[in-house]
Amino acid sequence: MITGAGGGLGRALAAALAPTHTLFLAGRPSQRLDAVAAQYGATTWPIDLADTDGIDAVVEPIVELDVLVHNAGVAYPGRVAESTVDQWRATMSVNLVGAVALTLALLPALRAADGHVVFINSGSGINASPGLASYSASKFALRSFADSLRNDEPGLRVTSVHPGRIATEMQEDLVAYEGRGYDPTRFLSPETVARVTADAIHTPRDGHVHEVILRPR
């Protein structure tokens, strides 16, 4: 299962994993999500991470799950003094609480498969980024949740992926906030991040990749 599969990185993750996995694409219903599903013969799962009350019922039919990739996320560019409580609440709701809720709902299915949970985190989950106050805080918390999950569920593999800036729509918004021109060649491509993530997932069963840190050259 891949969350946020309608976006640039989500689509790249689907492409990287489609040759070896049957894909469940989770997210809010949209034409973009449907297009990715049609391209890779995947099933869509209508999940809104901001509405945790509905998650259990949606994923109840899944009794075994090999891999869960948490890719969905939101970012509201702004320094601390510019941010609002509503932005902090919305960021934590999707980036942290939604990921926790989906993981808990799928825990029995992951246990049944000795599964792998992958969190697409960020460099901001290691070093707070200027102008991304609420986003950085949510990613630090998500890293902590991943560490706790790894400690508490020894039958699972849990990997945090910390890429630097990626050439996506979210990056365009951040660059615009910074008042600079957007040049995608300065950033990691979604395909590169997806390839590295797939490599971690394909690690032989006697290995456990805890953390991946990836930066643009």
Please confirm, yes or no, whether 135 is among the known catalytic residues: yes
4: region left, alpha or beta (phi > 0 left; psi from -120 to 50 alpha)? left
Mean pLDDT of 125-134: 91
The position carrying tokens 């949510």 is 138
| Percent of the chain at pLDDT exceeding 90 | 82
Residue 163 binned pLDDT confidence (cut-offs 50, 70, 90) = very high
Q: Which pLDDT value is given to residue 137?
A: 96
Helices (H), 65-98: 85-92
Length of the chain: 217
DSSP 8-state class, residue 96:
I
pLDDT over threshold 80, residue 8: yes
Mean pLDDT of 3-29: 94
Please pick, among 76, 135, 177, 182, the residue that the annotation labels catalytic.
Answer: 135
Q: Which pLDDT value is given to residue 70?
A: 98
Residue 192 binned pLDDT confidence (cut-offs 50, 70, 90) = very high
DSSP 8-state class, residue 210:
-
Q: Phi/psi of residue 214, each to 5°?
A: -130, 130
DSSP 8-state class, residue 107:
H
Mean pLDDT of 103-127: 97
Predicted structure pTM score: 0.93
Tokens representing 35 are 């297009």
What are the angstrom distances between the C-alpha of 56 and each of 17, 59, 206?
A: 25, 6, 31
DSSP 8-state class, residue 16:
H
Residue 191 binned pLDDT confidence (cut-offs 50, 70, 90) = very high
Q: Using CA atoms, how far apart are residues 40 and 17, in angstroms rounded to an integer?
A: 10
Bigger pLDDT: 208 vs 77: 208
Domains and CATH numbers, the chain: 2-205 (3.40.50.720)
Average pLDDT over the chain reads 94
Q: Which pLDDT value is given to residue 179?
A: 72
Helices (H), the chain: 8-17, 31-40, 55-59, 85-92, 99-112, 133-152, 169-178, 190-201
